[in-house]
Amino acid sequence: MKRKITLVLITFMLVVLLSACMEARPEINMEGFNEPGHISYTYLRFTGIQYGEIDAEEGDTIVLHYTAGMIRGRLLMQINAPSQDLLWDVILDENIDKTVEIPVNENGIHTLIIRGINARGSFDVQWEVRD
């Protein structure tokens, strides 16, 4: 009887441990790419961050085209200036296909941040800098 209880407890602890490990994975079945000027992924779950770098100068305009296919969760996108000042942001929890023009007021590397919060679906973000 004692052996049976021990076996049940070990089995239960293994199930709990494996479940916790699966939940700790921030990305599940995430496929795509992150290259200069273009980030694109599909995923079953994305809880994490993807970064892009945009080299721009004062007076330029960042033209950002983004598409999101949202099944659940949220995506937060933002662009920060080299000084870390926020230039633009959006919160996505539904499907969207949009282009925005963001004026640049500082020279240097601007950071595109795409943060997934228990998201399921896809996103595609492309950008270019215009004088």
Domain limits, the chain: 27-130
Top CATH class of 27-130 equals mainly beta
Q: Judge contact between 43 and 120, C-beta under 8 A.
A: yes
Quick one: pLDDT band at residue 24, thresholds 50, 70, 90?
Answer: low
Question: One-letter amino acid identity for 126?
Answer: Q
CA dihedral (102, 115, 82, 57) in degrees, to 10, reads -30
Element (H, E) at 107: none
pLDDT digits over 59-101, tens only?
Answer: 999 999 999 999 999 999 999 999 999 999 999 999 999 999 9
Instruction: Name the token pair of 98.
Output: 């949009």
pLDDT digits over 108-117, tens only?
Answer: 999 999 999 9
